[in-house]
Structure 1
C-alpha cells in the first residue's frame, strides 16, 4: 500500500509536469490542432490503423516501435520515414522496424481530404496512440501540430536508441537526454506487452556454458528452454518470437507480471526488476493495470512531445518517404 501511494503521488505530480512540459514545447502544439483545417484527421488515421490491424494483428506492436525509433532520433518529426542512402532506415537498428505502410496509407487518405495539412509526424504519433487502444489499452488524448523534419542520417541512430542489451545506466542516460524520467523508462518499457522480436536480438539470453547451464542467471530456465526451441541456431535473423509469451496481441500489464517471474525477453527488460531503483514500479504495475494505464497516458504524451518541430520549423510533407524539396 505504501508503495502504491508513493507511485500514485508521483503519478499525480507528474501529471502537472506533463501538461507543463507539453505547453512549454511550443504554443502551437495543442489538442484539436486540426479542428478547423482538417476536422476528420484523427478519425481517418484511426480508421486506417483499425483496418490495417484487422488484416495484420502485428501492426500495433510495429507502430509502437516505429514511434519510439522516430522520436528518439531528431525528435518526433517523421525523420525515420525518409528513404534514401544513409538515412535512418538504413541503420541496422532500424532495418526490422515496420508499420511504414500504415503511415503512408493514412497520409494518402489525408492528402485527398486535406492536402498539405497533416504532418507525417502527427500521423505517426496518432497511429501509435490508436494502436494501443485497438490492442486493448487506454484511450489517450495527445496534442498535435508537429511538423516534419528534413534531416535523416544513419549515424544519428545508434547514439540515440536503446539497445536490448543495455544496462540500467545506459538506458537512463538516453531517456534522461530526451527529458524522460526513470518512471517514464519503466512505463514506456511496457510497450513490450505487444509485438515480436527477432531471435538474434536476444540470443545471449539462452546461451549455455560447458556444463549446460545458463550463462544468464536472470532469466527463468524453462522460459530459456522454450526460447531455444523457438529459435533455430542457424536462422536467428529471420525467426521471431512474441515479446510477451502470455498475451502477445493485447496491451495490458502482463509484461510486468512476466518480469516478476523472470520472463523478460531482453536484458533491458530484466534489469527493471533487478535494479533497486525500478523494482517497486514493476511490482506495482504488475499488480494494478489501471495504474499502469494512467501512467502510460502521461509518459506516452511526453514521449510524443520529444524534440517536436512546430510553427515555421520543418515542413508538411506531401509524401512521408521524401521531403518536398
Structure 2
C-alpha cells in the first residue's frame, strides 16, 4: 500500500510546477489530450474564419500584460478587463470557451483557462504558416479582472520610449518588443486608429510624413476622410494571413499602418532589430524571425503566472468559480 501511495505521489508531483515555474507536459498524466483538443478546436474555428488567428494571439498578449498570464481577460463583467477601451476589439473568446467546455467534459477541474489561451495562441500562429513551439503549462486562473488595471497596455500612439517602458515593466526588453510587434504580420485594425495619420497628423490638416507617398494614397482610399471609422484594414499590406517577415519590410519602407509600429524605424536601436528581420533573403530571415518569435512567446507566456495553489481552475472561463 505504501508503495502504491508513493508511486501516486511521484506521478502527482510530475504534474506540479516546481518553485512556481511552468513546465512542458504539465498535463501528461492529468489530461493527456489537452493539446490535441485545443488544437482541433482552434483549427475548426480557423477553417471557418482565418481572422480568428490574430484575435487569439492578441487575446493572449493582452491577458499577459494585465495581472500576468492568468486568463483574467476572459472574465465577463461590467468593469472587467474586457470592458477597457484597449480591449474592446478583442476577439476569440468563443474559441477558448469551446475548448474549455470539451476539456471540462473530459478532465473536469484540471485545465486552466490561462493554459488553454496560451496553447490556442500557439496553434493560431502555426495555422497561419508561422512557427510552432512547446508551450510550458501549469498556469492557474486569476480571480481578479478590472478594466482600471488595463491602462498599461501598449497603444498605437505610444512613442518608442513609452513602448520600451511598458515592456520593461513586464520583464521584456526592446528585442522582445520588436519581435512581439512582428505579430502584426497577421491581423487587422480599424481606420479610426490611423485616420489621424492620414488627414490631421499635427492638427494642421497634414499627413504623417513617415508614411511613404504611395502607401499614403492606398490608406486614404481604404480609409476615406469622412468614411466609417470601423472599416478594417490589414496591418501587413502584403500578406495579411501569412505569418512572415513582410511586416518588417513594410516598416522599413514606410508602410507601417500603426504609428507605434512605424516609429520602430525612427529609433536607432529598434531600427537595427527591424532591419535584421526585414533583411533581403526571405527564407533565411523568415526562419530567424520564426525562431526568435517562438522564444519570446514562451518568455511572454510566463509573465507573473499563478501556479501551485495560487488562483483557481475555472469551470467556465468567463467567470470565477
* Same-fold status (TM-score > 0.5): yes
- Aligned residue number for residue 296 of structure 2: 299
- Aligned residue number for residue 10 of structure 1: none
Q: Measure the CA separation in 2 of the matches of 1:200 and 1:183.
A: 29
What are the equivalent positions in structure 2 for 1:1-325 lying under 5 Å apart? Answer: 26-158=19-151, 160-207=152-199, 214-287=206-279, 288-324=285-321
Q: Is the 8 A contact 1:25 1:305 kept in 2?
A: no
Q: Is the 8 A contact 2:20 2:306 kept in 1?
A: no
Query: Residues 234-264 of structure 1, C-alpha deviation per residue, up to 9 Å, x if partnerless?
Result: 4443211111111000111111011111111
Q: Is the 8 A contact 2:199 2:225 kept in 1?
A: no
Q: Residue 197 of structure 1: SS of its match in structure 2?
A: strand
For residue 29 of structure 1, report the CA deviation from its aligned partner: 1.2
TM-score, structure 1 length as denominator? 0.89
Assess, with a 3 A threshold, how the Cα gap between structure 1 residues 161 and 58 changes in structure 2: closer, same or farther. same
Query: Residues 282-310 of structure 1, C-alpha deviation per residue, up to 9 Å, x if partnerless?
Result: 11111211111111011111111111000
Assess, with a 3 A threshold, how the Cα gap between structure 1 residues 240 and 209 changes in structure 2: closer, same or farther. closer
Q: Residue 241 of structure 1: SS of its match in structure 2?
A: strand
Q: Is the 8 A contact 2:112 2:139 kept in 1?
A: yes
Which ranges in structure 2 are unaligned for 5 or more consecutive residues?
1-16, 280-284
- Larger of the two Rg values belongs to structure: 2
Q: Residue 233 of structure 2: SS of its match in structure 1?
A: strand
For residue 77 of structure 1, report the CA deviation from its aligned partner: 0.5
Query: Residues 96-124 of structure 1, C-alpha deviation per residue, up to 9 Å, x if partnerless?
Result: 11011111011011111111111000011
Assess, with a 3 A threshold, how the Cα gap between structure 1 residues 115 and 245 changes in structure 2: closer, same or farther. same
TM-score, structure 2 length as denominator? 0.90
Q: Residue 277 of structure 1: SS of its match in structure 2?
A: helix
Q: Measure the CA separation in 2 of the matches of 1:114 and 1:51.
A: 21
Q: Measure the CA separation in 2 of the matches of 1:317 and 1:232.
A: 45
Q: Measure the CA separation in 1 of the matches of 2:201 and 2:24.
A: 55
Q: Measure the CA separation in 1 of the matches of 2:128 and 2:305.
A: 26
Assess, with a 3 A threshold, how the Cα gap between structure 1 residues 209 and 294 changes in structure 2: closer, same or farther. closer
Query: Residues 71-111 of structure 1, C-alpha deviation per residue, up to 9 Å, x if partnerless?
Result: 00000001011001111111111111101111101101111
Q: Is the 8 A contact 2:75 2:145 kept in 1?
A: yes
For residue 214 of structure 1, report the CA deviation from its aligned partner: 4.1
Larger deviation, residues 230-239 vs 126-135: 230-239
Q: Is the 8 A contact 1:149 1:314 kept in 2?
A: yes
CA RMSD in angstroms, aligned pairs only: 1.7
Q: Measure the CA separation in 2 of the matches of 1:309 and 1:73.
A: 13
Which ranges in structure 1 are unaligned for 5 or more consecutive residues?
1-23
Q: Measure the CA separation in 2 of the matches of 1:171 and 1:194.
A: 20
Larger deviation, residues 24-33 vs 42-51: 24-33
Q: How many residues align?
A: 299
